[in-house]
Every structure is written in structure tokens, then in C-alpha cells.
Amino acid sequence: MEFGPGEFLPLRGLAVVLTVLLAGSVAVAAATLVLPLAHLNAPAWQIAIYVRGLVVSSRVGMAAAVIVFLIWFHRARINAERHGWQQRRARAWTFWGWIIPIASLWIPFQLMGDIWRAGLPPARRSRTAWLPVLWWISWLLATARATWAVPPDGWVSFTCYAIAGLTLIAIVRTVSTGPVGSPGTGADEPFSTACSHLAATSSI
């Protein structure tokens, strides 16, 4: 279903759900790495049972997070059209950009950067969007090192995975509580208090 350029689609409820799913995914991933260290004297089969349950939980949670994120991403891309910043990619790329080889290396980042800038005051839109940059670099490193393993299979992969998850939470909440996520706000209106704080700390 296509929406007109003036259509507003709520983001805040999705942002709350996505925050819970992403935070839970990071926590479960950490648990899969810590659990064997906390039970060094336990039989290997017992640790395997514990870890297997966490792995299943992590994969289910990640699958849910992917679905919710894609819905949020598409809605945010639509809302961003209302705020005077050119969106370089068509709406359909919010899905296809993740699965087409080679294009998946940069198109989702372009989309997120355009969504992010659409919610900024015009004077700040030309600056580097450091929070999306950090999110994308950590995501690429996490997926490259873990070869798409869920949860991550080592501490280096987990660190990248955690940074990607936490920065995505910050981006989603900032966008969802800012002009792009608010009906009737224009491109020149400032973020909410929480949104301004996140934007300032990311040096945008």
C-alpha cells in the first residue's frame, strides 16, 4: 500500500517495541558468552543445553526485531518526505536495499542518513551524521566477523553487535520522538528535549 507525501505514519509505538527487542537481543547475546564462563566446572552437555535455549531465544527475538525494524524503517522513510530533505532512494529500497548483493553495503545507510537529516534543522543537515555512521560501521563489522551468526560467536563480534544494537536504539528513538515521528511538525522545528540530547551527543 502506497501513501501520499503528506501522509503521517506513527512511529513511537514501533520504536518502543523495537527498543525492547534490540535490548533483549543484546542481553541474550551477552548471556550466551558469559554463561560458559560462569559454569566452568559444569558438564559440557549441561552448558550446551543452557546455551542452546539462549541461542533459540536470541534467534526468535532477532527475527521479530527485523520484522518490526523493516516496518519502522519504511514508515520513517515515508514520513521523512514531509520535511524538506530530498530522499535519495525510493521507498521500496527500505526492503530491497537489505537483500540485494553489493547494494546492501551502502543503500540502507543512505536511507537512514536521509531519514536522520530530515528531522534536523536545515542549518545542521549538511554535517556528518555520526550516529548513523557509527551504527552502520559497527553493523558491517559485526556481520562480517560473525558471518551472520545469531547470537555472535565471540567477544569481538559481540562488541560490534552490541554497538550496532545500541546505536540503532538511539537512532530509532531520536527519529521517532523528533519531527519525523511527530504529526504536523515542520522541518524547521526543533527536536524534543530527549531528541536534542541524543543529537547533540552524536555531534550531528
Helix (H, G, I), strand (E, B) or coil at 89: coil
* The predicted structure's pLDDT at residue 49: 66
Q: Confirm whether 4 is domain-assigned.
A: no
pTM as predicted: 0.79
Q: Confirm whether 1 is domain-assigned.
A: no
Q: Confirm whether 62 is domain-assigned.
A: yes
CB 112, CB 132: distance < 8 Å: yes
Q: Confirm whether 52 is domain-assigned.
A: yes
* The predicted structure's pLDDT at residue 154: 76
* The predicted structure's pLDDT at residue 33: 82
User: Domain total for the chain?
Assistant: 1
Q: Confirm whether 55 is domain-assigned.
A: yes
Q: Confirm whether 6 is domain-assigned.
A: no
Closest CA to 176 of 64, 63, 75: 75
Task: Point out the residues of the chain with pLDDT beneath 50.
Answer: 1-3, 147-148, 187-204
Give the domain extent around 187.
12-201
* The predicted structure's pLDDT at residue 57: 83
Q: 144: Cβ–Cβ under 8 A, 6 or more apart, which residues?
A: none
* The predicted structure's pLDDT at residue 47: 64
Distance CA 6, CA 40 (A): 58
* The predicted structure's pLDDT at residue 53: 77
* The predicted structure's pLDDT at residue 145: 62
Nine-digit cell at 30?
A: 551477552
Nine-digit cell at 119?
A: 528531522
